Amino acid sequence: MTTEALVEQIHKKKSFLCIGLDTDLEKIPSHLREEEDPIFAFNKAIIDATHHLCVAYKPNIAFYEAYGIKGWQALEKTIRYLNSKHPEIFTIADAKRGDIGNTSTRYAKAFFEDLEFDSITIAPYMGKDSIEPFLAFQNKHTILLALTSNVGAFDFQTKKVNGQELYKEVLETSRTYENAQNLMYVVGATKAAYLSEIRKIIPNSFLLVPGVGAQGGSLEEVCRYGMTNQVGLLINSSRGIIYASKETDFAKAAAESAKRIQVKMLGALDDLNRN
């Protein structure tokens, strides 16, 4: 999917919500466990109930990998369902991969070509030749970890390198990579105050923003400091939406929770269009 098509969807749906499919067998409603594939059954119900309120879904690959081959089958069914039923949805493989050259190309093929995800999250530590193999894929997007929403982000990401924080060095250096136009970045909402600084380095890139809600980040702040005139934001919410209820009404509850966020986004988009 092109960035233009993503922006078009955002305006059409009045939403820049991404729903994280962190599907956990221990947290899904018990009646689903009798299904042949409980993980896919849960995901399908969530997607059917929420697809009109969001523009993206982000399965966290660890949750699937944890169940071995069955998990991968559920992931494959989920992405195939999304791509066939809702091709307008932007899909993110939250894999946080990072390896060199040929190995990166393999990961890229696995996620971009075989599973047909639109994008993948990548860790920057190994540098240029671990990232460029992903960037080589046209109309596919590489979402680089810049400033994450966890406590450990302060261990290295905010340490000063060349007089500025490491995450800024990651932003600046990555802009020089071949096909850098295919880059997006992860920036945690718990660090919204950093967004105006970040926008000085990457004024137009899309940001994937986790940490709104459960982790305490504020949607209003993220929009104030991070929004561009092409929106430039995908706000992710996982647990707050998909586990809004553990009963048989879980899909309805997920839609209500997503709707509450989407209404706020509608307001932010209206403000953007007025300015």
CA distances from 25 to 74, 186, 266 (A): 12, 27, 33
Q: Enter the DSSP assignment of 35.
A: S
Residue 269 to residue 271: CA distance in whole angstroms: 5
> Quick one: which segment of 41-49, 162-170, 220-228, 252-260 binds a second copy (CB under 8 A)?
162-170
Secondary structure class of 249 (helix, strand, coil): coil
Report the half-sphere exposure of 64 (CA within 13 A, side-chain side): 24
- Tell which residue, 99, 124, 95, 126, has the closest CA to residue 111: 95
Q: What is the DSSP pairing of strand 141-147 with strand 56-59?
A: unpaired
Interface residue with a second copy among 85, 114, 247, 266 (CB under 8 A) is 114
Interface residue with a second copy among 83, 103, 218, 230 (CB under 8 A) is 103
Judged by CB under 8 A, does residue 252 bind a second copy? Answer: no
C-beta neighbour count of 99 within 10 angstroms: 16
Interface residue with a second copy among 92, 166, 201, 244 (CB under 8 A) is 166
Residue 229, token pair as written in the block = 């005139």
Judged by CB under 8 A, does residue 253 bind a second copy? Answer: no
Q: Which of 96, 252, 259, 264 is catalytic?
A: 96
The length of the chain in residues reads 275
List binders of a second copy among 27-86 (CB under 8 A): 60, 62-63, 65-66, 68-69, 72-73, 76
Crossing angle of helices 3-13 and 250-274, rounded to 10°: 100
Judged by CB under 8 A, does residue 214 bind a second copy? Answer: no
* CB of residue 88 to a second copy, shortest distance in Å: 25
Judged by CB under 8 A, does residue 11 bind a second copy? Answer: no
Judged by CB under 8 A, does residue 246 bind a second copy? Answer: no
Interface residue with a second copy among 162, 193, 273, 275 (CB under 8 A) is 162
Active site residue 96: yes
Give me the residues that bind a second copy (CB under 8 A), please: 22, 60, 62-63, 65-66, 68-69, 72-73, 76, 96-101, 103-104, 106-107, 109-110, 114-115, 123-131, 145, 148-157, 159-162, 166, 169-170, 173
Query: Which residues have a catalytic role annotated?
Result: 96
